[in-house]
Amino acid sequence: MSDPFETRCTPASGAQVVIALLCSLFAANALAFGFDNVAQRARQIASLPYERPSELASPLQALTYEQYRDIRFKPQRFHWRGSPFELAFFHRGFQFQLPVKINEIDGDGLREIRFNPEDFDYGANKLPLKAVQDAGFAGFRVHFPVNSQKYKDEVLVFLGASYFRALGKGQVYGISARGLAVDTAMSSGEEFPHFKEFWIERPAPDAKHLTIYALLDSRRVTGAYQFILRPGSETAIDVRMRLYPRENIAKVGIAPLTSMYLFGENQHAGSIDYRPEVHNSDGLSIRGDNGEWIWRPLINPRRLVVTSFTATNPAGFGLMQRDRAFAHYEDIYAQYQSRPSVWITPKGKWGAGRIELIQIPTPDETNQNIVAFWIPATPPQPKQPYDIEYRMLWQKDTDTRPTHSWVTQSRLGSGYVRPPERAIAFMIDFEGPALSMLPQNTKVEANFTADANAKVIESTTHRNDITGGWRVAVHLQRIDEKKPVELRGVLHVNNVNVSETWSYVLPPE
């Protein structure tokens, strides 16, 4: 079979018309590029030893963050300028040193989008011509009008290893996604696969979606990806992937999300800070196949904390930014209240596995210290294809949440209520239609439990007439302060659950 990456079809001189017709039909078919072509390439590469990317010229490696930001793709050189979707490209340099090949698919076939230093404004940087003439791309970004028809917003970025970020209406960049996570938070060290090549379909003049194919590679795994981008009030990305491991991998993270949590309502700032909260996400939300919803508030621990939730065929999960009040952040530059939540909806049955949450200590807000992903119980096997699909929703005003009621805040501390001696106090607020519609005299009970390292002394419920929800006050005593405590709690009326499950890890002292 001919390789669609190298398509040639030339009928012999004087050939019959029917032969020429058949040849032209074959050529047209070969030029029809899709996911299977990328998968074929990934399988071929996986059968070969890993080839390290070329090194970047030292002047570009030595760029500081500010110097790299000063290199900008010229607006007048945007690719597909004037069409619904426009492309701009990132220069290699600073931390973004891996070369990325970018191709365009249109009615005439495939063509590489060539790097040209004339397309970039280097600002105040004084770089030798030799360093930049063949530097190449580090990634690209997609522009599309989501906030106003008069301006094309940046809605999707692929930059750095397999990282990408997207935006919907009224959102600012925060949480990131990755194509794959390999051995994250393991003592052996993490491996970072990277997207080494992209193929982007040129959109029609009235297009509302954009199709992108990508080839992933690293020492132990290759993969083929398809991303279908649908920008809007909540931007959707449909992801299809096929992995080809070269060898066994201890931990494969599917649909990985990476975010930041420094401090918040459940964890005060470690130093004087005018801002009440600083985070891109405030919790992990999980919907099980049995209909149960779980909410795990995030923390910034003193030591690494890795926890997981066993699940078979999960209905979805995501790192969410539920708190949308500017007064809770007071940061007019970072705009944390507008950072997107990202919800993952599996397509088909994912089978048995677990959703893992990794929380890493961070001294400031520049580090992405929160990671969440799905780990299949049966990992991808060497030389065998592993297929999976899912949808990502980048949300703000329409965050995915339970239909009955949900946690709005988790506060640590007793306040004016004097707790029992050596007790730790939590105040957890729930809101939602299942609570707001209850008659005034309804008895709402809290069922809160702890693991073997703590004892729940009491849990009481109080109606919140201001919000229409309910507040739970929980007091517990830790047994061993050097060990963590896992807590769970839910509201119920007449033994029927009327809320999601609050799940919390209290880290060691």
Per residue in 347-400, pLDDT (tens digit) is 999 999 999 999 999 999 999 999 999 999 999 999 899 999 999 999 999 999
Per residue in 208-228, pLDDT (tens digit) is 999 999 999 999 999 999 999
Q: What is the dihedral of CA 180, 185, 186, 187, to 10 degrees?
A: 140
Distance, in Å, from the CA atom of 431 to the CA atom of 406, rounded to the nearest integer, reads: 6
Closest CA to 370 of 311, 300, 310, 318: 300
pLDDT at 4 over 60: no
pLDDT at 417 over 70: no
**C-alpha distances in Å from residue 266, one per residue of 412, 421, 477, 491:** 5, 21, 17, 20
Burial class of residue 440 in the structure, from the number of CB atoms within 10 Å of its CB (0-12 exposed, 13-18 middle, 19+ buried): exposed
Q: What pLDDT, on a 0 to 100 scale, did the predictor assign at position 18?
A: 36
The stretch 334-344 carries a mean pLDDT of: 98
Q: What pLDDT, on a 0 to 100 scale, did the predictor assign at position 420?
A: 63
For the chain, the average pLDDT equals 92
Distance, in Å, from the CA atom of 274 to the CA atom of 284, rounded to the nearest integer, reads: 26
pTM: predicted TM-score of the whole model, two decimal places: 0.92
Per residue in 247-273, pLDDT (tens digit) is 999 999 999 999 999 999 999 998 899
Per residue in 114-167, pLDDT (tens digit) is 999 999 999 999 999 999 999 999 999 999 999 999 999 999 999 999 999 999
Contacts of 16 (CB under 8 A, 6+ apart): none
Kind and range of the H or E run holding 138: strand 137-148
**% of the chain residues with pLDDT over 70:** 92
Q: What pLDDT, on a 0 to 100 scale, did the predictor assign at position 419?
A: 59
Beta carbons of 319 and 339 less than 8 angstroms apart: no
Per residue in 428-474, pLDDT (tens digit) is 999 999 999 999 889 999 999 999 999 999 999 999 999 999 999 99
Rounded to the nearest 5°, which phi and psi values hold at 337? -70, -15
Distance, in Å, from the CA atom of 155 to the CA atom of 416, rounded to the nearest integer, reads: 46
Contacts of 438 (CB under 8 A, 6+ apart): 444, 493, 498
Distance, in Å, from the CA atom of 160 to the CA atom of 224, rounded to the nearest integer, reads: 17
pLDDT at 20 over 80: no
Q: What pLDDT, on a 0 to 100 scale, did the predictor assign at position 418?
A: 60
Beta carbons of 344 and 239 less than 8 angstroms apart: no
Beta carbons of 482 and 389 less than 8 angstroms apart: no
Per residue in 171-190, pLDDT (tens digit) is 999 999 999 999 999 999 99
| Residue 104 bridge partners (DSSP) | 111, 200
Kind and range of the H or E run holding 229: strand 221-230
Q: What pLDDT, on a 0 to 100 scale, did the predictor assign at position 14?
A: 44
406-506: CATH class: mainly beta
pLDDT at 24 over 50: no
pLDDT confidence band for 19 (50 / 70 / 90) = very low
Strand pairing report for 501-506 and 293-297: parallel
Q: What pLDDT, on a 0 to 100 scale, did the predictor assign at position 54?
A: 86
Distance, in Å, from the CA atom of 69 to the CA atom of 92, rounded to the nearest integer, reads: 11
pLDDT at 16 over 90: no
| Residue 201 bridge partners (DSSP) | 105
pLDDT at 11 over 80: no
Q: In a 3-state reduction of DSSP, which class is residue 360?
A: coil
More confident residue, 385 or 418: 385
